[in-house]
Amino acid sequence: MRHSITHIALVVRDYDEAIAFYCGVLGFDLLEDTYQPEQDKRWVVVRPKGGQGASLVLARASKPEQEPFIGDQTGGRVFLFLNTDDFWRDYNRLTAEGVAFVREPATHDYGTVAVFRDLYGNLWDLLQLRDGHPAAV
């Protein structure tokens, strides 16, 4: 039996501002942006450029009770982990784009990591795992 995680839903305030950040600032690819008239919503899927793993479904909050979770889907914990093959290239590029890093780069046994906030406040690790790590790119 083989399984994989295909998508992770990320609650956003607005489709277009989310696409602008994830594709324009983080450099993700826009895989799909399809209007679904029966539900009056869009199916928006993005994935890190060159990535083969899970993608993000940018899911606009559609009910008032979903709105408080925009930017805080995990209660303030790091939520997503963006693995890179060149930490310093991507750290410098994201810093130049104005991405707010809330934890400076540090090197650990597993690799190099820094924590940043996305446009809504979700925390992400920018991460380059050491060579030989099972999840390294």
- Tell me how many domains the chain contains: 2
Which CATH number fits the domain that encloses residue 90?
3.10.180.10
**76-97 tens-digit pLDDT:** 999 999 999 999 999 999 999 9
**102-130 tens-digit pLDDT:** 999 999 999 999 999 999 999 999 999 99
Q: Across the strands, what pairs with 100? A: 117
CA dist., res. 80 & res. 100, Å (int): 15
Which residue range is the domain that position 117 belongs to?
Answer: 72-137
Same domain (yes/no): 63, 76: no
Tell me which of 11, 42, 70 is where a domain ends. 70
Same domain (yes/no): 3, 65: yes
